[in-house]
């Protein structure tokens, strides 16, 4: 079975980490493991599977996140994911949204470790790529360490060797998904203890990580870190990942170099039916985060990239305005 490094991962983010976003992120880091948005088994089996599975070969290493709770359906989808060329399939056991709960998957599944184990076993039986699980540390009042270790033990015995743990519990009632990312307190200590109690497993920590220095510190206790919103807000942070965390300084592009590297990709994508410039430029709004001219950059792209017949020259115009302000 193929092995992947989870030392640094970019989190799956619904409506954000699509193929355009991942192509952009790959320009910034060769080694970060990228994740797709969560896609439900129903969408893959009954919807436009080709659209959901599409990705650029440049994105490797890239993992596909599935949402579902039916072992048979998950096995079918895992095979589709592998055949499409992805490097890993990840099961979402952490999303607390009402829609996901009503579907009987996501964080709801933390209360059903044996079912999660059955899902993992079914997927592993039909693929040769790693099957991993992303979860919380608990849900509602079911947040004891004993229940968490029971969950990890059950699912690991089914064959999962990599767990990505969002170090907060989830409230299935009363909090929105956004509030569930912010209100429940971070409990890094719980994830650290999991690694001590399950040293044979790969444990990746997620939640509240905002800097590479913080990542380095956390890696003294766990096997990997996963960042989400911070990367989306400040994507250029990724340029420090390869050197600091992987000892690879061969790729460090300046911001303007990243833009010029994007141009051929944008040109090619605009030749495809139903692809609009805005679907790509929305992912680069944070490229100049923290720099002079960042606000002008964001405003110009937001106001102009939605116009009909626009092309990659919009990016060049935005960059020139940014340089004038500097």
Q: 157-173: string of b/e by CB count within 10 Å (b at 16+)? A: ebebbbbbbbbbbbbbe
pLDDT of 323 > 90? The answer is: no
Domain ranges of the chain: 8-246, 255-325
3-state secondary structure of 60: coil
Residue indicated by tokens 């059903």: 112
CB 62 within 8 A of CB 119: no
9 given a catalytic annotation? no
Q: What is this structure's pTM?
A: 0.95
Q: What is the pLDDT of residues 92-113, one digit of tens each?
A: 999 887 766 666 788 899 999 9
At residue 93, φ and ψ (nearest 5 deg) are -125, 35
Specify the CATH number of the domain 255-325. 1.20.120.1460
Q: What is the pLDDT of residues 141-172, one digit of tens each?
A: 888 999 999 999 999 999 999 999 999 998 88
Evaluated on CA atoms 312, 315, 320, 321, the torsion sign reads: positive
Q: What is the pLDDT of residues 176-227, one digit of tens each?
A: 777 878 888 899 999 999 999 999 999 999 999 999 999 999 999 999 999 9
At residue 251, φ and ψ (nearest 5 deg) are -130, 100
Identify which of 99, 8, 88, 86 has the alpha carbon closest to the alpha carbon of residue 53.
86
CATH class of 8-246: alpha beta
Candidates 21, 77, 95, 160; catalytic one: 95
């Amino acid at each position: 079975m193929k092995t992947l490094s989870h030392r640094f991962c970019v989190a799956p983010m619904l409506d954000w980490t699509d193929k355009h976003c991942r192509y952009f992120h790959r320009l910034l880091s060769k080694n970060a493991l990228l994740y797709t948005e969560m896609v439900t088994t129903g969408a893959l089996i009954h919807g436009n599977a080709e659209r959901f599975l599409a990705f650029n070969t440049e994105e490797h290493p890239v993992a596909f996140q599935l949402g579902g709770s039916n072992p048979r359906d998950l096995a079918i989808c895992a095979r589709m994911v592998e055949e499409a060329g992805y490097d890993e399939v990840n099961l979402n056991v952490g999303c607390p949204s009402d829609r996901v709960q009503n579907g009987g998957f996501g964080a709801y599944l933390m209360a059903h470790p044996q079912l999660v184990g059955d899902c993992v076993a079914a997927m592993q039986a039909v693929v040769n790529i790693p099957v991993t699980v992303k979860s919380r540390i608990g849900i509602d009042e079911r947040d004891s360490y004993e229940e968490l270790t029971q969950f990890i033990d059950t699912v690991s015995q089914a064959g999962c060797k990599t767990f990505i743990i969002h170090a907060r519990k989830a409230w299935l009632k009363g909090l929105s998904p956004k509030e569930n990312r912010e209100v429940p307190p971070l409990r890094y200590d719980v994830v650290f203890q999991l690694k001590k109690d399950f040293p044979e497993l790969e444990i990746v920590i997620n939640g509240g990580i905002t800097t590479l220095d913080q990542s380095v510190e956390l890696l003294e206790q766990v096997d990997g870190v996963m960042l989400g919103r911070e990367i989306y807000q400040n994507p250029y942070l990724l340029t420090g990942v390869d050197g600091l965390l992987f000892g690879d300084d061969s790729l460090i592009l300046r911001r303007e170099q990243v833009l010029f590297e994007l141009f051929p990709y944008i040109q090619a994508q605009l030749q495809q039916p139903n692809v609009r410039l805005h679907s790509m430029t929305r992912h680069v709004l944070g490229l100049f985060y923290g720099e002079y001219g960042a606000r002008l950059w964001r405003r110009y792209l937001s106001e102009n990239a939605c116009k009909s017949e626009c092309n990659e020259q919009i990016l060049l115009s935005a960059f020139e305005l940014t340089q004038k302000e500097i």
